[in-house]
Structure 1
Amino acid sequence: MSLLRVIARHASRPWTRAFASESSPSFPSATGVYQVFDRAAKRKQRDRAASRDAGVGSRTVDYVRDEVADRMMERLLDIKRKFDTIVDLGSGPGHFSKLLEPEKTRKVLMIDSSEAMLNRDSDEEFEVELERVHADEENLLDVLPRNSQEAIVSCLSLHWVNDLPGVLVQIKEALKPDGLFLGAMFGGDTLFELRTALQLAEGDREGGISPHISPMTDTKDISNLLSRAGFTLLTVDIDEVCVGYPSMWELLEDLRDMGESNAVVGRRHFLHRDTLAAASAIYKELHGNEDGSVPATFQIIYMIGWKPSPNQPKALEPGSAQTNLKDVL
């Protein structure tokens, strides 16, 4: 399924650079975790995106997160259980929380590191009781006691986490036994068209390449990470959202308004205009559509895991089957 895009709204909008932002040196954290992302810069980018034009700019580009939130809700509705409270980790303004109804939960707890993004839609009404908490997703156990939550969801925020295995462990620890984790995050093939165009252009014009698209988790690693974190009854599937843009420039502008600009530690301050112009031409040549637009692919990894509990169904011991497979076939 593709997300249809209204291209006309970009026709008269000027180009603005999406990848230029503050830079800081790479360093290990106090816990020894290598810092791939500059979390402070990412928080500022999202604060600015939420505040730009009184929030109108970021609302205009909610289309990817809203689409993924819809698809996550379909998965939650397949789980025939009502939760007293659902934690929305990295909630933003509440793309997923806005879809929750009293039949599914009594209350939602929204947690986000960007206070401006968290409160962007504070005037909007929700169907369930709501509480907002400004906190860093990387330090979840600072705000959630262990064994305290029935369900934790995360809609497109975990791709900016430095220690993904550690955060998954924290999520599992915060859940009650038989608690649910439902998540969606960008996969490794996200924006592959933009990545290849920038690499080819920069290599040709500047004699080398630097990171402009964040490194993302490979789809084949997610099951292993969830299992290592202690989750059971795992379900992992992959989907794509494909969006059409008039050109690469509008894609860069929308990424900025989404708060999705480059936040890799040690990133370059800017790209030369001629390099970007070459990248735009390469993008259209390699990936362009017949109507002159260009596609941008967002690969989404959906994951479901449960905290172990004695009451959960378990696999039978090898050799305990009562029916011979030959009889079935």
Structure 2
Amino acid sequence: MNVFDRKAKRIQRNRTALMPDYQLYNYVKDEVGYRLADRISDINRKFGVALDLGCGRGHVSKHIYSDMVSTLYQCELAEQVLKQSEISPEVPTYKIIADEEFIPFKEKSLDLVVSSLSLHWVNDLPGCFRQVHNCLKNDGAFIGSMFGGETLYELRVSLQLAEQEREGGFAAHISPFTEIRDLGNLLNRAGFNLLTIDVDEVVINYPSMYELMYDLKGMGENNCSWSRKPQLHRDTMTAASAIYKEMYGNEHGVPATYQILYFIGWKPDPTQPKAAARGSGQVSLKNIDQLDELSKQIEEARKNIPKDPNDGSDNSQDPKK
């Protein structure tokens, strides 16, 4: 698989580091990084060694605290961006220049791998997931976020319609994103289990299409696929902006949708909980509408269990009996 020009992506990211106001363009990644760190804090465990894969400017790392992780590594493809990366305020943090496609860690050396809005530029995503799986210890966690397939659909549609009208055809200007139905399959194939995947949407209003495209460039999210068109004609841009406003505009300007896929996968371990045996359930799902009544019946049945004459205790208070 060779969809993206990784060298071009590294150059694009490094160029953002030269912008004097680069912090202004971190708003989407900062928000998603905070939400991802919140998911890590929800896990009732302190991880030993953690890796922030494709850390960017530390959008997740700056929200990692000592009760969550003992040691943190940051990996980033663009060296200038890595220099600007914020680190954890409490956890010892080490920075490494590394490509997400070639993870430089030994087998079973990590307890946690986290990645936020970086993996959508990886060519071989199944191979990347397998590398993460190999680097994790048993019962280690892989927690991440990716842009979903509906991301920037408004911009995609507007550009396609404008090009079709002005040039008689259209090219891909928005990077292909992973669909939610594919993400679970990829994680399963890589060997992860106990998967949790959920979807969120962040909608941001811009004055016009031009501000959106400028901000995407400031984020380092401009297209780097090999099939990308080298330039957009001015009249096509003007038409696309008008179409965008006509089709999706509101009183605040034009909205842009960022669909975020959050996922958690665990490396298998014998100590992990197992699914109940088939047919062991006591309540059928077809009776779910009667759940309150069934709960009352179960509680009444427990109260009517006779006491054990040998110990003088009330068995209804012992859940094992």
- Report the TM-score, using the length of structure 2 for normalisation: 0.87
1:139 is aligned to 2:102: yes
Q: CA deviation at 1:269?
A: 1.2
What secondary structure is seen at the aligned counterpart in 2 of 1:137? coil
1:308 is aligned to 2:272: no
* Distance (whole Å) between structure 2 residues aligned to residue 268 and residue 191 of structure 1: 18
1:45 is aligned to 2:12: yes
* Paired residues of 1:186 and 1:299 also in contact (CA < 8 A): yes
1:157 is aligned to 2:118: yes
Q: CA deviation at 1:316?
A: 2.4
Deviation readout 1:278-300 (Å, 9 max, x if unpaired): 00000000000123x11110000
* Paired residues of 1:241 and 1:299 also in contact (CA < 8 A): yes
4+ runs of 1 displaced by more than 3 Å?
324-329
Q: CA deviation at 1:74?
A: 1.9
What secondary structure is seen at the aligned counterpart in 2 of 1:51? coil
Deviation readout 1:130-161 (Å, 9 max, x if unpaired): 10000111011xx1101110000000000000
* Distance (whole Å) between structure 2 residues aligned to residue 156 and residue 189 of structure 1: 14
Structure with max Cα Rg:
2
Out of 77, 87, 91, the position equivalent to 2:55 is 91
Out of 154, 168, 171, the position equivalent to 1:210 is 171
Deviation readout 1:9-39 (Å, 9 max, x if unpaired): xxxxxxxxxxxxxxxxxxxxxxxxx211000
Out of 101, 104, 116, the position equivalent to 2:65 is 101
Change in CA separation of 1:185 and 1:125 when aligned onto 2, cut-off 3 Å: closer
* Distance (whole Å) between structure 2 residues aligned to residue 322 and residue 301 of structure 1: 32
What residue number does 2:45 align with?
A: 81
Deviation readout 1:244-276 (Å, 9 max, x if unpaired): 110000001001110011101031110000000
* Distance (whole Å) between structure 1 residues aligned to residue 89 and residue 14 of structure 2: 22
Q: What RMSD over aligned residues (CA atoms) do the two structures have, in Å? A: 1.5
Change in CA separation of 1:322 and 1:190 when aligned onto 2, cut-off 3 Å: closer
Change in CA separation of 1:249 and 1:279 when aligned onto 2, cut-off 3 Å: same
Deviation readout 1:95-115 (Å, 9 max, x if unpaired): 100001111112210001111
Out of 102, 106, 109, the position equivalent to 1:148 is 109
Deviation readout 1:220-264 (Å, 9 max, x if unpaired): 111111111110100000001111110000001001110011101
What residue number does 1:256 align with?
A: 217
* Distance (whole Å) between structure 1 residues aligned to residue 80 and residue 204 of structure 2: 26
What residue number does 2:25 align with?
A: 61
What residue number does 2:278 align with?
A: 318
Instruction: Identify unmatched segments of 5+ residues in structure 2.
Output: 295-321
* Paired residues of 1:98 and 1:127 also in contact (CA < 8 A): no
What secondary structure is seen at the aligned counterpart in 2 of 1:139? coil
One-letter amino acid of the structure 1 residue matched with residue 18 of structure 2:
S
* Paired residues of 2:64 and 2:88 also in contact (CA < 8 A): no
* Paired residues of 1:66 and 1:95 also in contact (CA < 8 A): yes
* Paired residues of 1:214 and 1:264 also in contact (CA < 8 A): yes
Instruction: Identify unmatched segments of 5+ residues in structure 1.
Output: 1-33
What secondary structure is seen at the aligned counterpart in 2 of 1:106? strand
One-letter amino acid of the structure 2 residue matched with residue 304 of structure 1:
I
* Distance (whole Å) between structure 2 residues aligned to residue 279 and residue 219 of structure 1: 28
What residue number does 2:231 align with?
A: 270
User: Bigger relative contact order, structure 1 or 2, given CA contacts below 8 A and separation 6+?
Assistant: 1
* Paired residues of 2:63 and 2:88 also in contact (CA < 8 A): no
What residue number does 2:89 align with?
A: 126
What residue number does 1:23 align with?
A: none
* Distance (whole Å) between structure 1 residues aligned to residue 97 and residue 57 of structure 2: 12
* Distance (whole Å) between structure 2 residues aligned to residue 125 and residue 324 of structure 1: 47
What residue number does 1:236 align with?
A: 197
* Distance (whole Å) between structure 1 residues aligned to residue 90 and residue 152 of structure 2: 34
